[in-house]
Amino acid sequence: MQDNSEQAGAITLLLQDDSGGLEVLNHNTGEWIPVDPNPDAYVVNIGDMLSMWTKNIYKSNVHRVINKSTKDRYSMPFFFDGNADVKLTPFDGSEPVGGKVLTVEEHMLERFGTTYGRAEQVEATA
């Protein structure tokens, strides 16, 4: 099982195979909702950057993948993150939530540091 916190980028388009296993967290109930594969559709995941740009009108989603099948699971994601120097300020020109303004690059480095920093900490204690 792979459990992802909120998406770091802006938008992810995901084309799934027919094996399933993708689940999204309902923020209100805490329930995991299965996302059934549809060969004629993409899954659209909203990420942190789009949440920042819209002042949480569009909320970043939490998802996980559980492979319950005995066969390999394949998916094809397209990540849209924006140019490195773009500031993550709300589209409406208002102050960002929390007041801190980051560029796309700063945000991604911070998120990667959090994600991979945890992995290094786990390896160090093993």
Least confidently predicted of 50-54, 58-62, 63-67, 120-124: 120-124
* Per-residue confidence band for 75, with pLDDT thresholds at 50, 70 and 90: confident
Query: What is the rounded CA–CA span in Å between residue 51 and residue 54?
Result: 5
Q: In the beta sheet, which residues pair with residue 43?
A: 14
Number of domains in the chain: 1
Query: What is the rounded CA–CA span in Å between residue 34 and residue 20?
Result: 8
* Per-residue confidence band for 120, with pLDDT thresholds at 50, 70 and 90: low
* Range 30-39 average pLDDT: 93
Residue listed under structure tokens 């980051």: 102
The overall average pLDDT reported for the chain is 85
Domain with residue 95: its CATH number is 2.60.120.330
